[in-house]
Amino acid sequence: MHSLWNDEAASRCADALELRAYTSRLLGNDPDLVMYGGGNTSLKARWRRADGSSVECLYVKGSGSDLAHVTPADFTPLELEGTRRLLEQEHLDTDGMMAGLAPFKLRADAPKPSIETLLHASVPARHVEHTHADSVLAVINTSSGRQLARTVFGDIAPLVPFRHSGFELAKLCMATFERERTERTIGLILENHGVVAFGDDARTSYENMLALAARAEAFLQSRNAWHLPTAPTPPKTRASAIALARLRRDLSAVAGWPMVLANDRAPEVMGFIARADLPDLAGQGPPTPQHAVFTKRVPLFGRDAGSYALEYRAYLEAHAPADQDPAGLPDSAARIVLDPELGLAAASVDARHAQMTARMYRHDIRIASRAASHDRYVSLPPADILLAELHYGGFERGLRAPARDTRPRLGQIALVLPDSAHAIDDLLAEGSAVVAIGVDTTDRENLVALAADATLDDETLVEAVHAFGGIDEVLTRRPEPSRSPLLQELLSLSPLRR
């Protein structure tokens, strides 16, 4: 952990809220601390009313905004005193908490406040940071995690036993802080969740978060639990391309709509897959329950998408709340596949989210591997993971809902040759992932451009399939592609041809 604080950049911030947004972005741009919408920050300051009076205010990062890109407008201002009064209640569910916060919003057009708003209100420090730091999770997500948390962090950051995000977690954080704080306390460790840090100025609070993560890193290094095992990267072959395309077809059939794959065959991924204890280690579940929204609770080992679906449906039946609407349950398709020949395959609604899912699981690999190097890695019980899937999930359905009208090619993959390069913009706008062969184009989301001198031979087709997991259509005016046996086999495996 190295501080990225820059005096010149900080001096350009016009006020405390701009400075709060600046240090939030420093945290959000470190994937070892925060990934894809995770984490939240806050500031306590005075709010100036239109009549000239002022009130103590809690600015908390709005729900859904990415900490890596937040601006002052992404923070929701709330009257602090009224917000804190909610903590006097005995019980408050998430809907009740959000309804209770509504009257205290000081800006009508502000975003929905974070589910962790009451946690931020409960800590008296002016600045509060919350992340899911990898190194901290690698220490505490273990059989001896509670004892290790006290050994590594002590009164510098007391341990808060696990509670789901929201009112109950905030109440327990407040009680733990009031009971265990000392003059040395700079944060809280949240069991199976992450870490909170705080301070009375922006730089101190930000660097307190780094200090807690660095303390965990130092412990892992002292136990020889930092370096990850590796194994050789398997080659991309005709057989692996066909296997990926078949896997995509099978996963899409279970999901009920076409998905895109991201394929990761890096040495640390292959080292993880080669572990003798892989089923037990990866089968424990994610380091923090919110990751399951992207990755599901456990991966598919091998390529039997149908068997995974049966097991996932049994998991839903066993652990879904009795009053759960079946229409709100996740589909049963795996999102992470671990295979000794294919490596890691991550599936999602489009290429961007598939790549996000793959990167998130890479972090899960690091956390679980490091935890297992000094103790036994453990996750939360299945019922707790499913509650997070139900509460935070549904983003794929949300993206697909309007797709029929606005992005009819969502989840599809197009192979574009030079004579049809004019179609790339329309394909991307309609939601397709695009592999462009022999086209000189700028990097864009959901687009992979192979070498400008590439031809439509088997080697190029193999690269194209490993980009997104398959091929659904070929755009060209040339007749030659129809004579490629490999291309015809790949097209026959398209989920659109079920």
The last residue of a domain, from among 378, 397, 416: 397
CA distance 335 to 298: 9
With contact defined as beta carbons under 8 Å apart, do 35 and 360 qualify? yes
Residue 246 pLDDT level (bands cut at 50, 70, 90)? very high
The answer to whether residues 318 and 253 belong to one domain is yes
Whole-Å CA distances, 122 to 31, 117, 162, 406 = 26, 9, 17, 43
Domain final position from 397, 415, 439: 397
Handedness of CA 14, 16, 22, 26 (dihedral sign): positive
Confidence of residue 65 (pLDDT cuts 50, 70, 90): confident
DSSP E strand boundaries for 406-468: 413-416, 433-436, 447-449
* Domain annotation covers residue 233: no
Q: CB count, 10 Å around CB of 263?
A: 24
Q: What is the mean pLDDT of residues 381-404?
A: 87
Span 92-140, pLDDT tens digits: 999 999 999 999 999 999 999 999 999 999 999 999 999 999 999 999 9
Query: 151: closest CA among 240, 216, 207?
Result: 216
Q: Looking at residues 263-276, what average pLDDT do you find?
A: 97
Looking at the fold, whether 246 and 383 belong to one and the same domain comes out as: yes
> Which pLDDT tens digit goes with each residue over 278-328?
999 999 999 999 899 999 999 999 999 999 999 999 999 999 998 888 888
> Is residue 232 included in any domain, yes or no?
no
Residues 263 and 183 in one domain: no
Q: Is residue 346 part of a domain?
A: yes
436 DSSP β-pair partners: 416, 449
Q: What is the pLDDT of residues 147-168, one digit of tens each?
A: 999 999 999 999 999 999 899 9
Single-letter amino acid, residue 261: L
Asked whether residue 340 is domain-assigned, the answer is yes
Q: Is the pLDDT of residue 442 over 80?
A: no
Question: Are 380 and 477 in the same domain?
Answer: no
Do 42 and 138 lie in a common domain?
A: yes
Q: Alpha-carbon distance 393 to 329, whole Å?
A: 9
Q: Both 339 and 440 in a single domain?
A: no
CA distance 450 to 437: 5
3 state SS of 41: strand
Residue 392 and residue 446 share a domain = no
Within this chain, do residues 117 and 201 fall inside the same structural domain, yes or no? yes
Pair 170, 200 in one domain: yes
Query: How far apart, in whole angstroms, are the C-alpha atoms of residue 326 and residue 205?
Result: 43
Q: Is residue 481 part of a domain?
A: yes
Domain end point (choices 196, 222, 248): 222
3-state SS, 377-411, equals ECCCCHHHHHHHHHHHCCHHHHHHCCHHHHCCCCC
366, 475: one domain: no
* Overall average pLDDT of the 368-375 stretch: 98
Contact 312, 255 (CB under 8 A): no
> Does residue 227 form part of some domain?
no
Q: Which residues contact 169 (CB under 8 A, 6 or more apart)?
A: 116, 119, 160, 163, 190, 193
Same domain, 176 and 86: yes
Query: Where residue 167 sits, what CATH number does that domain have?
Result: 3.40.225.10
State whether 22 and 162 are in the same domain: yes
- What whole-number distance in Å separates Cα of residue 54 and Cα of residue 141? 44
What domain range includes position 162?
Answer: 7-222
45: in domain: yes
Q: Helices 351-374 and 202-222: crossing angle, nearest 10°?
A: 60
Is the pLDDT assigned to residue 480 strictly greater than 70?
no
List the CATH number of the domain containing 304: 3.40.225
Q: What percent of the chain has pLDDT over 70?
A: 98
- State the total domains in the chain: 3
- What pLDDT, on the 0 to 100 scale, is given for residue 327? 85
Q: Do 36 and 8 meet the contact criterion of CB atoms below 8 Å apart?
A: no
Average pLDDT over residues 22-30: 95
Evaluate whether residue 344 is within a structural domain.
Answer: yes
- CATH for 429: 3.40.50.720
